[in-house]
Amino acid sequence: MQVIKSKINTNSEAYKANYAGMLKKVEELEALMKKSTWQGDEKLTSRVKQAGRMLARERIELLLDQDSPFMELCPLAGFGRDSFALGGTLTAGIGLVCGKLSLIIANIPTIKGGAVDHVTLQKGMRLNEIALENRLPVIYLVESAGANLQEQASIFNLGGTNFRDITRRSQKKIPTISVVFGSSTAGGAYIPGMSDYVIMIKNQAKVFLAGPPLVKMATGEITDDETLGGAEVHSKISGVSDFFAQDENDAIRIARELINHLNTQEQERAEKIQEPKYSAEEILGIVSDDIKKQYDAREVIARIVDASDFTEFKPDYGTTLVTGFALINGYQVGIIANNGVIFPEASNKGAHFIQLCNKNNTPLLFLQNITGFMVGKKYEHQGIIKDGAKMINAVSNSKVPAITIIIGASYGAGNYAMCGRAFQPRFLFSWPHSKIAVMGADQLTGVMEMIQREAAMKAGIQINEEQAKAVKAKVAKEVEHQSSAFFASGQLWDDGVIDPRETRNYLGMSLAVIYDGLAKEKDYKQQMDNEFGVFRM
């Protein structure tokens, strides 16, 4: 290598003239840059501060790692054009969040309610291009009045690109996390609506297709912001929100925690392995050997994951299914555990979470303790079959390796949705008290009896009660026997019955094997891609 030898004379007139001319331009730039940091009229910004809330740029600052650089993008968008503000109603740039390069896009709600004018739309489109080309995760700090209604004609059509691009990135495993800070109507609502992960802030986020006035005009219904689309509604009822943040700081904390779990780069193992905070021995005291006695799956999770740390996804929605991210022996896993029968919401949540883990290259761990999907007229009408099918579809087509542990009951289609043997988990272990069958022995013999009685009645045959009772007892005994974990293991329906206290060790070893396999597969694919060296022709 050779050092370039400069021929510039820094004392020459030409040099000095250039310097002065360029400095003037730079000063002009600085003035414009300063102007672009305007976040709305003092009256509005001070109102936000007085309410203890953050302005758009403060939200970005808190989200970034301390000392992270921030490369602001398109700050002068709209220069010399008619727009709401220089740079539009978005502030955006690239910085480090938990050490990961991320594109941060923040609406500026203190300028025209964060409404999107033509310049803001164009800027957003360019940001989408940057995210896609560079595979950058996007964190969207949302608070927007949607389209600038005065410019609707010029922005309506291309406005759709923003929603299109969020989901196109998702298809390519580039996640978008939306943190909703305030009112986000119509177009503003579809930003979280299309995102992979959504965090909404208590008493602040208000998300709807149409606000109360438009709802009244359209249907005559009278409602208010909070009941129509508040953070609580979306976290507990609609499922539009995945995380219910207590305040702005909490929301930023959750976003950082999530980005930490995003496996966007290499499959990596955490450097430091932390043991669970609770003893595995306690599992024996938590779980009854009678599988009919329910227990909280989180108590098991707390005893098998590193530091008992669990980032729970949609904790308040579809609550009979527990989903979330954790590390086991330093390896990332997405956990799906049963906490009761699967209702439609729980099934949809399961399907959603499986998709997220696939986009995130995160292996799945199923903790099965399931008596099945919810039955009854209400749920059939609601479409429990199609909701169940969505989860079974997601499990069937899931590409990430899975491990299943049967930690209680494994009955009916619940076994399928929770990655039973037919769904090819890489490893499947059972606890010694677990039961696996189409349904419980009592239910099975009860159903059989009802069918037989009905058939006998139709045929006009008198049932011999003594005989029927004996047959029922015999069948029940047989089903009971065939449902046991040891019987199942004998049939090779699992890869072993394990001591529940050893679960973490089995999982650590299984994950080591899985992650090692993934690395080898990647090497192999790279070799296949590079089959030829360069030919000089």
Residues that bind ligand COA (CB under 6 A): 112-113, 115, 145-150, 183, 185-187, 211
Question: Whole-number minimum distance, CB 33 to ligand COA, in Å?
Answer: 24
Query: Helix, strand, or coil here: 472?
Result: helix
Cα-to-chain-centroid distance, residue 209? 22
Residue 27 C-beta: closest distance to ligand COA, Å? 31
Which two three-digit tokens encode residue 493?
A: 């329906």
| CB closer to ligand COA out of 159 and 388 | 159
Q: Which two three-digit tokens encode residue 191?
A: 């930003």
Shortest separation between residue 112's beta carbon and ligand COA, angstroms: 4
* Per-residue burial over 408-440, b = 16 or more CB atoms within 10 Å of its CB, e = otherwise: bbbbbbbbbbbbbbebebbbbbbbebbbbbebb
Judged by CB, which is closer to ligand COA: 112, or 433?
Answer: 112
CA–CA distance, 297 with 304 (Å, rounded to integer)? 11
Residue 430, strand partner residues: 406, 497
* Residue 376, φ and ψ in degrees, nearest 5: 120, 160
Taking the complex as a whole, the smallest distance from the CB of residue 185 to ligand COA amounts, in Å, to: 4
Which one, 115 or 497, has the nearer CB to ligand COA?
115
Q: 327 pairs with which residues across the strands? A: 332
CB 218 within 8 A of CB 28: no
Strands 321-328 and 331-338: antiparallel
Nearer to ligand COA, 91 or 102 (CB): 91
In the complex with ligand COA, the residue whose CB is nearer, 19 or 156, is 156
**How far is it, in rounded angstroms, from Cα 225 to Cα 183?**
9
Residue 120 or 338 with smaller CB distance to ligand COA: 120
CA dihedral 413, 417, 422, 426 (to 10 degrees): -150
Looking at the Cβ atoms of 118 and 349, the one nearer to ligand COA is: 118
Closest approach, Cβ 423 to ligand COA, in A, equals 43
Closest distance to ligand COA from the beta carbon of 148 (Å): 4
Q: How far is the CB of 73 from ligand COA (least distance, A)?
A: 24
